[in-house]
């Protein structure tokens, strides 16, 4: 059964949307991943896993959405970095448009570390406006969705991302370009300041690469994506069965309306 939005015909789309009522929006970024991986790594991984999961637990999967929070990568060639207001407005418009096509629930499935806090804030900000759908966000970076036992740590252009891109789009991986000495450890650590700075990631990894990409393999990538897809499929099942969150959404809006009317 076809589940990818861009591949569906109108008849099949309407049938699947009316039956399942759930759409996955895979979100990533366009940014540097060392010298050996493509700019679209995060979105490619998020979309590939979403498709695998939806093949196990049917729903519609939107095409990969590339425009995430990338202020920390603005200094690198290939980065597409929108200002914060446009970033929020575009994502808000997109989820509204997805819902307008008959979906009652939307799962934003994230593959980019820089999106984690942004998406949590986006989800919270939706409380300020009344909509007729329920928004969920899921993160592919770490537990509970990604539990594959990688040999090395890192988290960016490392063993894990390199392995999965080897499985998804092997022709885009150029390991001969990876010249940084491994393991690629943090260069600076600003945590001792006891406060937050927007340069914390750049301070640690100024070349936007971490860990040991040379440990990557296509076999590891296949296994990791399959395990993660199983976990995402289970999340999809839980979201489909969820009646509590939609009811809380309606209750919240009722109380919000009373506040706005002076009640």
| pLDDT of the residue at 232 | 98
Task: Check pLDDT > 80 for residue 263.
Answer: no
Task: Check pLDDT > 80 for residue 159.
Answer: yes
Task: Check pLDDT > 70 for residue 154.
Answer: no
How confident is residue 262, by pLDDT bands cut at 50, 70 and 90? confident
% of the chain surpassing 90 pLDDT: 95
pLDDT tens, residue by residue, 249-258 = 999 999 999 9
Quick one: fold of 5-148+225-260?
A: Rossmann fold (3.40.50)
Q: In Å, how far are 83, 117, 176 from 40, measured between CA atoms?
A: 19, 20, 19
Dist CA 107 CA 127 (whole Å): 16
% of the chain surpassing 70 pLDDT: 99
Task: Check pLDDT > 90 for residue 36.
Answer: yes
How confident is the prediction for the chain on average, in pLDDT?
A: 96
Task: Check pLDDT > 70 for residue 90.
Answer: yes
- Mean pLDDT computed over 115-138: 96
CB-based contact 150:216 (threshold 8 Å): no
- Mean pLDDT computed over 207-221: 96
**Domain residue spans in the chain?**
5-148+225-260
- What are 79-85's contacts with CB under 8 Å, separation 24+? 79/30, 79/31, 79/32, 79/39, 80/29, 80/30, 80/31
Task: Check pLDDT > 80 for residue 245.
Answer: yes
Task: Check pLDDT > 90 for residue 153.
Answer: no
| pLDDT of the residue at 152 | 87
Euclidean distance between the first and final Cα of the chain, in Å?
50
Sign of CA dihedral 159, 112, 60, 168: negative
The C-alpha torsion from 63 through 224 and 220 to 56, rounded to 10°, is: -70
Q: Bigger pLDDT: 189 or 154?
A: 189
């Amino acid at each position: 059964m076809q589940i990818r939005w861009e591949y569906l015909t109108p008849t099949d789309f309407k049938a699947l949307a009316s039956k399942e009522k759930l759409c996955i929006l895979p979100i990533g970024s366009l940014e540097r991943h060392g010298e050996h991986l493509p700019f679209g790594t995060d979105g490619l991984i998020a979309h590939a896993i979403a498709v695998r999961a939806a093949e196990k637990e049917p729903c519609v999967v939107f095409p990969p959405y590339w425009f995430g929070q990338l202020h920390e990568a603005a200094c690198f060639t290939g980065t597409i970095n929108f200002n914060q207001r446009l970033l929020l407005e575009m994502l808000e418009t997109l989820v509204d448009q997805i819902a307008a096509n008959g979906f009652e629930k939307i799962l934003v499935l994230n593959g980019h570390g820089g999106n984690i806090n942004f998406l949590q804030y986006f989800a919270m900000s939706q409380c300020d406006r009344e909509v007729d759908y329920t928004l969920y966000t899921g993160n592919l970076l770490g537990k509970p969705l990604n539990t594959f036992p990688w040999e090395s740590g890192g988290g960016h252009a490392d063993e894990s991302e390199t392995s999965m891109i080897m499985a998804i789009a092997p022709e885009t991986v150029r390991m001969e370009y990876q010249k940084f000495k491994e393991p690629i450890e943090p260069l600076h650590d600003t945590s001792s300041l006891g406060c937050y700075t927007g340069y914390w990631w750049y301070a640690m990894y100024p070349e936007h690469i971490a860990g040991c990409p040379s440990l990557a393999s296509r076999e590891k990538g296949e296994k990791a994506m399959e395990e993660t897809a199983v976990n995402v499929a289970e999340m999809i099942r839980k979201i489909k069965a969820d009646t509590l969150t939609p009811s809380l959404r309606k209750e919240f809006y009722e109380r919000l309306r009373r506040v706005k009317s002076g009640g």
